[in-house]
Amino acid sequence: MREVLGIIRQLAEVGSTKAKSEIIKKHLPGNELFQKVVKYALDQDKSYNVTELVNTDGKIISPSTSVEQVFGYLDYLVAKRGATAIEIMHLSRLCTSVPGAEEIVTKIIQKDLKCGCGAKAFNAVIPGLVFEVPYQRFSGFKEFDKIDFENDTVVAQIKMDGMFSYLMPDGSFLSRNGSRYSLGGVIERDKEWISQLGSNLIWMGELLVRGTGGSYLPRKTSNGIINSFISGDGNPMWINRVEYVTWGYITHEDFRRGYSDTTYEEMLNSLNGVKVNSGKIFLSKTDFVRDKDEAFVFYKNCRTRKEEGAMIKVINKLKWKSESSGSKFGVKLKPVAEAEFEIVDAYYGDKKGKYANYLGGIVVKSCDDKILTKLGGGFSDDDRFLGVDWWEKLVGRVVTAQFTGITTDKTSRETYCLDHGRFVELRNDKDCADSYEYCLGVVNNG
C-alpha cells in the first residue's frame, strides 16, 4: 500500500498532463495493486456507503491483516445499501492494521485519488481498466437544416445552463468526469420520485441554483455554489435553492454499455403520468414543433427569457448513445459558440499594462490538438491576481471558452485559432476537451 501511495503522491506533485501520463505508463502496467486501487477508487459502479474512516485509537484487527482482507471488506460494503457504525469502525480498524491503507482507502471511499487524474488517464495506458462515464453529445447548427420536419417527430426543450449530472438510483449525483457526490440529502430525500418508474434508472439533467429573485443563477455562479457543497464548505443558505431539471432517463444496463435501443419518443411516452416535479426535481417542458419557423420561435422565446438556448430533438430517431461527435438527431441552438478546451500554458500580461506581473491569459487546445489558441479575455481581476504560477499548476485542466469563429493560425498551417475567444470558467465537472469538428459544428448556430 505504501508503494502505491507513493506513486499517487508523485502524480499529485506534477502539473502537466504529459508528466502524469509518463508516471502512469511507468508504474501501472504489471502493478496489480496499483491497478486495483485505481479501479476501486474510480469505477462508478462501486459505492461504499462510507464517506470517511473513524478514529480507532490505534486499535487494529490483527497484525497479520492483509491487503486482500481490506479489499474484501470494501466488496462487502458495495453489496450493502448502507454501512452501520460498527461496519465503519471495522473497516477503519482493518485500515489501521495495514501500513498506508488509511490514506489509500480514504481516497477510495471518497471516489477521488486527489492526484489530478481521472479514469481517462489510466484507461489510456490500460484500456478498459476503469469504467468511464458515458455522455451523449448533440450537434451544432449545421445539422439543423437537415431535419425533416415533414416526416419526423420533432420537439424543442429549453437548454438549461447548469451543471450536467446523472441522478443515480441511490439519490447521489455523477458528473461527466466521474465524480460521485451528494448534496446534503436535499435532492436525495426525493427517492420515491427517482424510483417511480423503476429502481435501476439513471436520470439525465442539470443541477441549477435558484436565486432570491426567482430565476436561476448564471452557470458560473450556480456551479460555484454547487462545487462548494461538493467540497464540503457550502453556505447552508443556498442548499435549499438547488434544483434538478431532467429530460429523461436510461437504464443502468444501457448506461454501462454506452447506448440504448429505445428511442427518445418511447422514453417520453413512458413519462406519461409521472409527477412533473417533486419540489426539487423537475421534468423539462417539451413542446412539439412542426417546422423550422416554430423551432426558431421557441429558441427566440428562450433567449427573451434569458435562457441559454434550445435543444431540438428528432424523437422518433434519437437514441441515447455515448459518442465523441454530436448526434445528428439532436441539435443545440445557442447565441454564441461555446466549447471546452484543455489548458496547456499561462502567460503574463502586457509589460506596460495593469497586469504586467499577473495573468495575461492562458493557452488552450482542443482534444485532437487541431485548435491551439490564446484566451486573454473573460478573466476577472481576482482571476488575474492569482498569478501565472497558480494558473500554470492547472495545466491539463478543462475550461469553457466562448468564441465567434475558427480561423487558420497565421503562424502555422497545422492548427487553428478561435476568433474572439474568451475564458468563461474553469470546469471542475469535466476532464475532457472538445474536438475541432465539434467546435466547428457549434460556430454560428445562433
Here the CATH number for the domain that contains residue 379 is 2.40.50.140
Which of 20-24, 115-119, 162-166 is the least confident region?
Answer: 115-119
Most confident of 248-257, 404-413, 433-442: 248-257
- Say if residue 288 is in the same domain as residue 170: yes
Q: Is the pLDDT of residue 412 over 70?
A: no
Helix residue spans in 231-351 (DSSP H): 236-239, 252-257, 264-270, 292-304
Which of 80-89, 319-328, 347-356, 429-438 is the least confident region?
Answer: 80-89
321 band by pLDDT with thresholds 50, 70 and 90: very high
Contacts 24+ apart (CB under 8 A), 31-37: 31/4, 31/7, 33/1, 33/3, 33/4, 33/67, 34/3, 34/4, 34/7, 35/126, 35/129, 36/71, 37/4, 37/8, 37/104, 37/107, 37/108, 37/113
- Say if residue 226 is in the same domain as residue 293: yes
184 band by pLDDT with thresholds 50, 70 and 90: low
End of a domain among 333, 364, 379? 333
Ordered DSSP codes for 104-132: HHHHHHTT--SSS--HHHHHTTSTTSSPP
Instruction: Write the pLDDT tens digit of every residue in 89-110.
Output: 999 999 999 999 999 999 999 8
Residue 142 lies in a domain: yes
- Say if residue 424 is in the same domain as residue 358: yes
Phi, psi of 373 (to 5 degrees): -150, 160
- Say if residue 99 is in the same domain as residue 236: no
The DSSP 8-state label assigned to residue 141 in this structure reads G
108: left (phi over 0), alpha (psi -120 to 50) or beta: alpha
81 band by pLDDT with thresholds 50, 70 and 90: low
User: Which comes out higher in pLDDT, residue 33 or 278?
Assistant: 33
List the domain range (segments joined by +) for residue 420: 337-442
- Say if residue 306 is in the same domain as residue 183: yes
Cell of 127: 484500456
- Say if residue 90 is in the same domain as residue 42: yes
Distance CA 46, CA 71 (A): 12
Instruction: Specify the number of domains making up the chain.
Output: 3
User: Which comes out higher in pLDDT, residue 189 or 369?
Assistant: 369
For the segment 64-80, the average pLDDT, to the nearest whole number, is: 90
Residue 66 lies in a domain: yes
Residue 76 lies in a domain: yes
- Say if residue 316 is in the same domain as residue 255: yes
Instruction: Write the pLDDT tens digit of every residue in 11-33.
Output: 999 878 889 999 999 999 999 99
185 band by pLDDT with thresholds 50, 70 and 90: low
Q: How many angstroms separate the most distant Cα atoms in the chain?
A: 74
Residue 68 lies in a domain: yes
Residue 247 lies in a domain: yes
Here the CATH number for the domain that contains residue 150 is 3.30.470.30
**Which residues are CB-neighbours of 8 under 8 A, at least 6 positions away?**
37, 104, 107, 113, 114, 115
Residue 249 lies in a domain: yes
For helices 32-42 and 2-13, what crossing angle results, to 10°? 60
Which of 45-59, 175-189, 238-252, 266-280 is the least confident region?
Answer: 175-189
- Identity at 425, one-letter amino acid code: E
- Residues 159-192 as b/e (b if ≥16 CB within 10 A, e otherwise) read bbbbbebbbbebbbbbbbbbbbbebeebbbebee
The DSSP 8-state label assigned to residue 371 in this structure reads B
188 band by pLDDT with thresholds 50, 70 and 90: low
End of a domain among 69, 98, 123? 123
Instruction: Give the model's pLDDT for residue 446.
Output: 46
